[in-house]
Each structure stands twice: as C-alpha cells, then as structure tokens.
Amino acid sequence: MSARAVYGIVVREWVRFLRQRGRLFSSLARPFVWLVFAGAGFAAVFAGRDAIDYRVYMAPGLLGMVVMFGALLAGLSTVTDRDAGVLRMVLVAPIRRSTIAVGKALAATLLGTAQTIVVAAVLLPLVGLRPTGAGALLALGAIVLSSLATGALGVLLAAGMRSIENFAGVMNFVVFPMLFLSGALYPIGHLGPVLHALTYLNPLAYGVDLLKHALLAPWSGAGYGGELPVALDLAALLGWAIVGLGGATPLLAREGGVTRAAFRERA
C-alpha cells in the first residue's frame, strides 16, 4: 500500500472540503439547528426531564450526528468522483483498489473528526457539559473511531452505487434510519424488538453509546449514560470499519461499468 497515494487522496478531500464553503457552514451549523428546534420539541416530552436536561442528553447524539454527516457523506463522495470522472484517473494509477478505499476512509475520518471537534468545542460549553480528562479522551476516541466506521460505510455504499441519483435513497434508507436508531435523540432501549435488533447493526449506535459513556457518566445511574460495554462499542466500530473497507475494495474494482456505460451510449 502506497502511503503517498493515501496521503494524496486525503489531501485532496481536505482541500475540497475547505473550498466548499456551503458544505462547511451547513455541517457546522446543523447540530445547533437541531439543538434549538428538535431540542425544544423533544425537551417538552422527554421522560427523563427531572433527572437530566434534554439538551445535555442530546449533546453526545448531536456529536454523533456531526460524525455521521461529516464522515458518511465524505465517504459517499466517491460516487461524485465516479460521476465527474476523477475516479477513473484514480483507478488507472498504479495502486491497489484497497489503497483507494483506505485513502477515502481515512479522508472521511479526518473530515468527520475535525468537524465534530469544532462543534464539540462550542456545543459542550453551551449546554454546560464539562467532561473529565478521561471522558474527553474517550470522547475523542469515540469520534475518531465512529468517523472511521461511518466513513468506511460511506465508501462501501458509494462503491456499490452506479450514479449520484441513488443518493436520495441513501439519505432515506440509510442516513435517517441510522440517526433515529442510534440513541442520539432518545434512548433506544424502549424501541420494539425489530427496531431494537436493528440498532445492533448500526455503527452510529455504538459511536453514540461510546460518546454517552464519555460525556454522560454522571447520569448513568439515572439510566442516561452508555448502555453497552465500552469494549463492545470499540469492537463493533472497528468491525464496521473492516467490513466497509473489505466490502468496498472489490466493488471499486468493478469499474467495468465505466466502459460498459460509454459503450452503450454509442453502440
């Protein structure tokens, strides 16, 4: 695996991200919009309002949301690379397909982590959360690992997609379910058995759980901290990263679609 190629892929994503002001602004503003509007609504019906302020409860979830939009969408950008033709150039470079998948996933990890740290620096003081040193460190680990896991998932989804038109489907059937089944907005323990089972497949659920371990430890007695063992969260996130990268690699190689599509147009 060429470290220089991975570095090149990461640098390109970073430069593109910084240059897209709209994306930068909306990704940083999104959690605060949720804090204000969803926070107001949910706070009124939140069962635990005597034990914990809802805005404090939702803070780890909002960070998880930033991770997901930051890293998953960055991983999904592989599909726009395919549309714009850039992916062909990458595929003709003398590097393995796995190098491309790793480069993309690491770029997504960097973007997800950077955005989440910036948001956390404002959000946590805003809701009055002051994590301990160990808590902050665990939160950082949770942010990096969840970015890697959701970024790899994004690369996997993008590698399997033919065109950007499938994007809306991904938003409806992946992004929103992932968010609502993550425990970001409400505890998932009370969900029905089918939905609850699905949460075990959701990488974001493990990321948010880890963030709750890190940030909501004082409320764990009241049932609002992390619920799964930390080791399970870590292992599941790593597992998702490996599944995403391993699944994306052969799909990226299936680039025969490029010529096939061009051929069909002209035949």
Give how far Cα 24 sits from Cα of 15, 28, 97, 131, 135, Å: 12, 6, 29, 26, 27
The residue among 30 and 88 lying less far from another protein, judged by its C-beta, is 88
The residue among 89 and 122 lying less far from another protein, judged by its C-beta, is 89
In the complex, the smallest distance separating the C-beta of residue 32 from another protein, rounded to whole angstroms, is 27
In the complex, the smallest distance separating the C-beta of residue 161 from another protein, rounded to whole angstroms, is 18
Task: Decide: residue 176, CB within 10 A, 0-12 exposed, 13-18 middle, 19+ buried.
Answer: exposed
Residue 181's Cβ-side half-sphere holds a number of Cα atoms within 13 Å equal to: 18
Contact residues for another protein, defined by CB under 8 A = 2, 4-5, 7-9, 11-12, 15-16, 19-20, 84-86, 88-96, 255-256, 258-260, 262-263, 266-267
The residue among 97 and 212 lying less far from another protein, judged by its C-beta, is 97
The residue among 12 and 228 lying less far from another protein, judged by its C-beta, is 12
Task: Return the residue matching tokens 């599941």.
Answer: 236
In the complex, the smallest distance separating the C-beta of residue 102 from another protein, rounded to whole angstroms, is 13
The residue among 73 and 119 lying less far from another protein, judged by its C-beta, is 73
d(CA 137, CA 105): 22
d(CA 220, CA 226): 7
In the complex, the smallest distance separating the C-beta of residue 79 from another protein, rounded to whole angstroms, is 15
- DSSP one-letter string for 109-131: HHHHHHHHHHHHHHHHHHHT---
The residue among 36 and 262 lying less far from another protein, judged by its C-beta, is 262
In the complex, the smallest distance separating the C-beta of residue 30 from another protein, rounded to whole angstroms, is 22
The residue among 227 and 255 lying less far from another protein, judged by its C-beta, is 255
d(CA 195, CA 92): 43
In the complex, the smallest distance separating the C-beta of residue 234 from another protein, rounded to whole angstroms, is 31
Number of other residues whose CB lies within 10 A of the CB of residue 214: 25
**Which are the contacts of 90, defined by CB distance < 8 A and separation ≥ 6?**
9, 81, 100
In the complex, the smallest distance separating the C-beta of residue 113 from another protein, rounded to whole angstroms, is 21
